[in-house]
Structure 1
Amino acid sequence: MTPPEGTIASPNHYERLLLSALDELGTCPQIAVSRQEATVESEAEGPDGITPAELAAEAMEAAQLLPELADITVDPRITEEAPRLRRIAAHWRGTDAAPDLTGEFRVPQFHRAIFDPAPPLAWEGSTPDERELLAQFRQIDGHPHSGTGQVALVRLMPHTAPLEIWMWDDRLGAQRMDLDYLGYLEALAVTKGTHGWQYLFTGLSLRGVDLRHTADQMRAMLDHFPELFPQHDYTRLRERLEERL
């Protein structure tokens, strides 16, 4: 695996999780990684690097100057533990031994993400309520190279903690996920961004025609991953897939 740009002297739990996920993909013979990236925030590099809490404090001080962010409350756990990675990303597929597996993720640093504008998800048929909801979203993960039309989002609601995590699918719209932000990172590290994994954490059934391919991807992931990445526990994912089939 290509080493990350910059080094964190004492990576925290979530930094280790994401960097390990990248390493696991890059060193697995049954996985072909076409793109990968891991960039450390410059202020966090080296033994005297800024802590996650210090990075968050700087960001939130600036946020108070913006009307749309002034009343946003960030969960203290995110403040203390959000990865100090400016961006971490991978685009991959299974080789001949696992040809039915594909995946991608592209995760920006959390406090950078909330400063970005809302992604352009509304269309001419969106209702006023839908537009209001979509305007509160900021992208925390996506598939720029796969072009799946799926992104993961944090919802910025004033005086609300923990912040809600949603996913967007161009075919089915916005779906709330049964995860907080750090839980999202935990699940991402296990699934490696296998296309469609987020649906395991929504209330939707995977029995319908629209999500049949997603169900097949989840079956393939849970067939192959215990052998490819045996260091992880897939019990929770299996249970969630069974509940949706």
Structure 2
Amino acid sequence: MNSHDSFENRCVQSIQEIEEADYSQLTHQYLAPVHTLRGDFGTVIDDLATSEDVHLDDSFRGNFFRPDEIHVAWRSTTGPLVMGEFCLNHIHQSISRSIIPPDDDALGPAEREVLGDLCVIDTAPRGGTGNLAGLYVTEDAAFEVWFYDMGLHRLERLDLDYAGYLDVTLAIKGTSGWQYLFADVQLNSMELHTTAARLEVMLDTFPEVFPNHDYRALRARLEARL
């Protein structure tokens, strides 16, 4: 099985889990067509090296996917309302900056510079929040993952690499605000208490609803930030 088949199959499995659970209702799903240039990992890394001077190592191969976009949205059907959404962009689309991140005057100069240079990997267009995650390519060609919360005017570096971001996205189904579990924040603060409450409901519920996933490490991250 090719790596792209593996990740795309995992996406399909994640969608099926949402559909089959009584707890959740799938409200949107879309796998964009496969573009000829972007259907092969070798072709993609060669083109990005030539056109963008960005060199992807083999760690990107395991989570490579061919569709230009994988977009899923859902909401809970029982208990306190929990919603999730992810709109994953093809790595070629991200690095070539087909989506330009917004400017935010509320951020400091250094943060605005990082935000402006992000290669967007994930958005939530149906939710209309303006939140996004992106890769920041450092001067020594390392890849950092950052999360931007438009509503709270926050930009946070995440304790995740690209593969880890995608892995958690599928396990946690893009639950709104999950990225804060990997940021250096206190979730018991006034501005994040709603996010914390939502994540607590999710982590109380998901182990039973989606028993094929292990959420203990995420629970530990939540407790460390409360």
Structure-1-length-normalised TM-score: 0.82
Question: Relative to structure 2, which stretch is displaced further, 139-148 or 200-209?
Answer: 139-148
Q: 1:229 to 1:202 in 2, by over 3 A?
A: same
2:182–2:221 Cα contact (<8 Å) kept:
yes
Q: Is the 8 A contact 1:121 1:134 kept in 2?
A: yes
- Asked if the contact 1:98–1:224 (Cα under 8 Å) also holds between the matched residues in 2, the reply is no
Quick check: 1:82–1:182 contact (8 Å CA) kept in 2? no
Correspondence list, 1:29-48, <5 A: 29-43=22-36
What per-residue deviation string (whole Å, max 9, x for no partner) do you get for residues 118-152 of structure 1?
312233x5554333222211211111111223211
Q: In percent, how many aligned pairs have the same letter?
A: 33
Match of 1:66 in 2: none
Structure 1 residues 220 and 127, CA, compared in 2 at 3 Å: closer, same or farther? closer
> Which residue does the alignment assign to 1:174?
155
Are positions 1:52 and 2:32 aligned together?
Answer: no
Q: CA deviation at 1:80?
A: 5.8
Residue of structure 2 aligned with 1:89, choices 61, 71, 76: 71
**Contact 1:118–1:134 (8 Å) recurs in 2:** no
CA RMSD of aligned residues (A): 2.3
1:219-238 to 2 correspondences below 5 Å: 219-238=200-219
The answer on whether the counterparts of 1:143 and 1:150 sit within 8 Å (CA) in structure 2 is: yes
- Residue equivalent to 1:78: 60
Q: For 2:28 and 2:109, locate their aligned partners in 1 and report how far apart those are by CA, in whole Å.
A: 38
Q: What SS class does the counterpart of residue 219 from structure 1 fall into?
A: helix
Pairs within 5 Å for 1:1-245: 11-43=4-36, 50-61=39-50, 63=51, 69-70=52-53, 72-79=54-61, 81-95=63-77, 97-116=78-97, 118-123=100-105, 126-161=107-142, 163-170=143-150, 171-245=152-226
Instruction: Measure how far apart 1:12 and its partner are.
Output: 3.9
Deviation, structure 1 residue 196? 0.7
Amino acid at match of 1:105: F
What amino acid is aligned across from residue 103 of structure 1 in structure 2? G
In the alignment, the residues of structure 2 paired with residue 127 and residue 193 of structure 1 have an alpha-carbon distance, to the nearest angstrom, of 28
CA 1:209 to 1:149, structure 2 compared with 1: closer, same or farther past 3 Å? farther
Task: Tell me the TM-score normalized by structure 2.
Answer: 0.88
User: Whole-Å Cα distance in 2 between the matches of residues 78 and 101 of structure 1?
Assistant: 31
Higher relative helix content: 2
CA–CA distance in 2 between the matches of 1:149 and 1:211? 17
Deviations 1:94-113 (A, max 9, x none): 01x24421111101111111
The question of whether the paired residues in 2 share the 8 Å contact of 1:153 and 1:166 is answered with yes
SS at match of 2:32: strand
Q: In the aligned structure 1, how far is the partner of 2:107 from the partner of 2:80?
A: 38
Quote the Cα distance in structure 2 between the aligned partners of 1:115 and 1:208: 36
Matches of 2:138 and 2:56, distance apart in 1: 10
